[in-house]
Structure formats: structure tokens, C-alpha cells
Amino acid sequence: MPNNLIRRGAAHRGATAAVLAAALLGTLAACGDGGDSGSGKSAGTKGGSSAGTSGPPAADLTVLAASSLTDVFQKAGAAYEKEHPGTHVKFSFAGSQELAAQVKQGAPADVLVTADQKTMDGVGPDAGSSTVIAKNRLVIATGKGNPKKIDNLKDLSDTKLKVVLAAPEVPVGNYSHKVLDAQKITVHPVSEEANVRAVLSKVELGEADAGLVYKTDAATAPGKVDAITIPDAQNAIASYPAATLKESQHGEAAAAFVKWLSSAEAQKLLRAAGFQQP
């Protein structure tokens, strides 16, 4: 074969190999880009959501909530975590006035839920706009079987009875005093407690004959206390507003939780616990 033909054949094979090598390198580069991008999205960072998913970013949320929400919020928190993988909800329960004081003092938290609008409003600019997520009403809690035969609010004025109320600055205490004052009933409580659960505990333990608590709290002690209904015309309706806190480090996730509290799933849990619709 002539030398010029050999040279042309070799050159042709070299050019073909170069084209194939370039194509292969391009494919590998594309795969490399896709792999890096996919890895970055799937790994994510704390507080960020995974690629291809919608919804709020994952976060560790701290929720300050009125003590009367203790049982139902523990269930709600578990449901929310199941629905939002990667998010953890930690609750701190206490009297609303105590929670508000914590917020004003700069306690690190993301969401506040109180048992009245007045306490929420008192937090001022430390909280965002609030949304009422549930309502409640008062009942008279007595010992199991109602041994003192208490039938109505007027019976609580009997000085022979040991009646316990929440302190006036506590939402349930404020509601209680308003209800009693409206009916012109004077009660001399043996103690004034810091939250509604403390009132309920006094009755459960037999340290008080009766106390005014929320309907939902009496329902958490079946077999331990009786709940005497207070007529609507004499009762008070408690509202539960929820709001994000301005100092939250997880604003988007906190707002998503507050919004979820009005969802069908959360409302179903609240109704089952005896709370009323907002």
C-alpha cells in the first residue's frame, strides 16, 4: 500500500478516536454535574427542605402553650412530626401569663399559644398576628360522685365548701371571676393557683371540694372528678390564639405549624379533646 494512503488511514482513525474521546468526556462531565447536584439536594441542611418536596423547611420547633392544651398538643405534635419528617416539636406548658412573661424576657421559642386574647395581645411586638385555633368553656369540677352535691355556681358561695380557683391574672382565673361576678356570687377560695391543671389537681387529690376549670381539663381526669355543667347564659367562652414569635430562628417552619393548627387534622384532634371550633 502506498505511504500516502497509510498516512491518510492513520489520520482518519486518529480523528475518529478523538471525536469518541470528546463525546465520552462530555457524557462523564454531564453525569458528574447531575450527581453533584443531586447529592447536594438530597443531603440538605438543618432548617432546609429536601429537593423535590414542598412544604416548610425541617426545624426543631419550641412551642409555648397554655397548660390546658397539654394532652391534645402532645398528640398534635406527634401527628405534625409524622406529617413533616425531619421536624421536631417540643412543648413547654404553663399558665398563659407565665408564658407571656417568658417571651418578654427573651426565652428562645418559635410559637406561642395562650388561653385568651388579652394575654396574647399583651406580648405586643414580640409576637406576630395571631389566629384563634380553638375555644373552650368552664365547668365546676368536684370530687368523683360529687359528694358535696354541688349543682350550680351559687352553691360555691357556701363557706363550708373548700373551693379553689386560678389566680385572677391567669386566663382561667380571669374567666372564673368574671362568671362569678356576673352572677353576683361571692366565693372565698382556699387557694388561687398558677394554672388550670393545678386547680384540677387540688380537686383530684381531695384538697378542695370544687374548682372552676375548663371542660377539656375535667375530661382528662375520668373516674377522678365529676364535671358540673354551667349554663351557657352564665358561662364564659375561652379563645386560644396562636402566633409565631418574632425572635424565632425558624420563622417559616413556625408559621407553617401555626397554620397547621387550623387544618382539618389538627381540628379533629381538638374536637376529640372537647375543644370547640374557633
Higher pLDDT, 234 or 15: 234
Residues 18-33 pLDDT 10s: 433 344 334 333 334 4
Residues 159 and 161: their CA atoms lie apart, in Å, by 5
pLDDT at 79: 98
Q: Where are the domains of the chain?
A: 60-135+239-272, 136-237
At residue 170 the predicted structure's pLDDT band, cuts being 50, 70 and 90, is: very high
Query: Which one is the CATH code of 136-237: 3.40.640.10, 3.40.50.300, 3.40.50.20, 3.40.190.10?
Result: 3.40.190.10
- What pTM was computed for the model? 0.79
C-alpha distances out from residue 145 to 72, 198, 219, Å = 26, 20, 15
Task: Provide the grid cell at 278.
Answer: 374557633
Q: What is the pLDDT of residues 119-162, one digit of tens each?
A: 999 999 999 999 999 999 999 999 999 999 999 999 999 999 99
Q: How confident is the model at residue 53 (pLDDT cuts 50, 70, 90)?
A: low
d(CA 23, CA 16): 11
- Residue 55 pLDDT: 80
Q: Please state the CATH superfamily assignment of the domain spanning residues 60-135+239-272 in this structure.
A: Periplasmic binding protein-like II (3.40.190.10)
Cα separations (Å) of 150 from 74, 136, 139, 153, 209? 33, 22, 12, 8, 9
Q: Are strands 60-66 and 88-94 parallel, antiparallel or unpaired?
A: parallel
User: What integer pLDDT is reported at residue 44 of this predicted model?
Assistant: 32
Provide mean pLDDT across the span 212-223: 96
Q: Is residue 185 over pLDDT 90? A: yes
C-alpha cell at 13: 482513525
